[in-house]
Amino acid sequence: MFRLVKTSLQITAVSTALLMASGVVNAAEKYGFGKTATDVEIQGWDIDIRPDGMGLPKGEGSVADGEELYEQLCATCHGLFGEGEGRWPVLAGGEDTLQEDRPVKTVGSYWPYASTLYDYIRRAMPFTAPRSLSDDQTYQLAAYVLYLNEVVDEEFVANKDTLAKVEMPNREGFFVDPRPDVKNERCMENCADPSKLNIVGTVAGITPVGHFVEGADAPAASHHGQELKERKMQGEDVAQDTTHAIALSEAAQAGRETYDNACQACHASGLAGSPKLGDKADWKVRIEQGIPVLVEHAINGFTGNSGIMPPKGGRNDLADEQVNQAVTYMVESSQ
């Protein structure tokens, strides 16, 4: 994919140069909309990293620094040692299981290249705030995840040179399938009508289907939306959802957007011991401590008997007032 993207960019650049040289007006000027992408804008999209490490940025991160950052941002979903929480992905272990009936696919057992681990972390993690990590932080997490899988030692420092040289256990496990019956041919006649297709089940809470069927109530990536979707598909009336039928204060109403964007991933499903929105029994003891205590825990982080609350849920871009409002929304929705 990276080759196609870069080739397209190169073709575009050459074409633009030829057009400018010949005096032809570009589309933005001719039609009065859009503008030619600048080098800085192109660099913002050109972030792919090749298996040989080409594309890795400057910076570095040690295993020790990665451990601290991992516990703050990643352990809530992936477990303190990469074992996974609930149904969230396991990151470590699974050695020699790929040929078993139920293989355990982890970074150590399955991924072929360490450079693509960096690529994925930078694009998609943490779950609540993708693309929020600095280059150094991404190197730190990549180093620590590799350490959890015993691919590198505790002294390892990841950078564009060292990470490209890491040899993953499954580096030879990917190949082009030579069997003649594995390539599907395009359907050209008597094809199924896409409008009549319907997904009737997925792995609940992990595979989002809210965007596939008309009438979904929440974003596709929402665990809460997934739950509502499946309940609706089973014929249950979810129009009067109890967590949404409560009269909320002005502060709570302001906090709902923050909850939907930053808190819902954990608090809609009870991930890693987090209290579920609307669960009165789960919130009762917490509410008795008082909102100031809950807000302080939410802003600065808290480790309790049932789970871990990272500072601001891993969303350090949130203002303290936004966190305060989100806590108020969850409290009022759970009384």
Q: What is the mean pLDDT of residues 131-152?
A: 95
Check residue 236 and give its pLDDT: 64
Q: Check pLDDT > 50 for residue 243.
A: no
Quote the CA–CA distance of 50 and 66 in Å, as a whole number.
Answer: 23
Q: What is the mean pLDDT of residues 38-51?
A: 86
Residue 202: burial class (beta carbons within 10 Å; 0-12, 13-18, 19+): middle
Q: What is the mean pLDDT of residues 305-321?
A: 79
State the CB neighbour count (10 A cutoff) for residue 48: 15
3-state SS assignment for residue 243: helix
| 249 close to 257: Cβ distance less than 8 angstroms | no
Q: Given the structure tokens 């929480």, which residue do they identify?
A: 85
Of 16-30, 58-72, 241-255, which gets the smallest average pLDDT?
16-30
The CB-based long-range contact list for 81-88 (8 Å cut-off, 24+ gap) reads 81/148, 82/106, 82/107, 82/145, 82/148, 82/149, 85/271, 85/272, 86/269, 86/271, 86/272, 87/203, 87/205, 87/206, 88/271
Q: Check pLDDT > 50 for residue 162.
A: yes
Q: Which residues of 159-184 are buried (b: 16+ CB within 10 A; e: fewer)?
A: bbebbbebebbbeeeeeeeeeeeeee
Instruction: Give the CA radius of gyration of the chain.
Output: 24
Q: Check pLDDT > 80 for residue 77.
A: yes
Percent of the chain clearing pLDDT 70 (strictly above): 75
Beta-sheet pairing, 302-303 with 308-309 = antiparallel
How does pLDDT run across 261-301, given as a tens digit for each residue?
A: 788 877 876 766 788 888 888 888 888 888 898 898 888 88
How does pLDDT run across 2-28, given as a tens digit for each residue?
A: 444 444 444 444 444 444 444 444 555
Q: How confident is the model at residue 172 (pLDDT cuts 50, 70, 90)?
A: very high
Element (H, E) at 16: helix 2-21
Q: Check pLDDT > 80 for residue 113.
A: yes
The CB-based long-range contact list for 225-229 (8 Å cut-off, 24+ gap) reads 226/202, 227/268, 227/269
Q: How far is CA 39 from CA 16, 25, 46, 189, in A?
A: 13, 19, 10, 45
Q: How confident is the model at residue 142 (pLDDT cuts 50, 70, 90)?
A: very high
Q: Check pLDDT > 80 for residue 218.
A: no
Q: Which pTM value belongs to this model? A: 0.55
Check residue 257 and give its pLDDT: 87
Check residue 246 and give its pLDDT: 65
Check residue 63 and give its pLDDT: 97
Element (H, E) at 142: helix 135-148
DSSP class of 262: I
Q: What is the mean pLDDT of residues 58-84?
A: 92
Check residue 232 and give its pLDDT: 61
Q: 65: which 2 tokens? A: 């620094």
Amino acid sitting at position 97: T
Q: Check pLDDT > 80 for residue 124.
A: yes
Percent of the chain clearing pLDDT 90 (strictly above): 31
Q: What is the mean pLDDT of residues 220-247?
A: 53
Q: What is the mean pLDDT of residues 213-224?
A: 41
Mean pLDDT over each residue of the chain, to the nearest integer: 78
Q: What is the mean pLDDT of residues 114-133?
A: 90
Q: 179: which 2 tokens? A: 């069997």
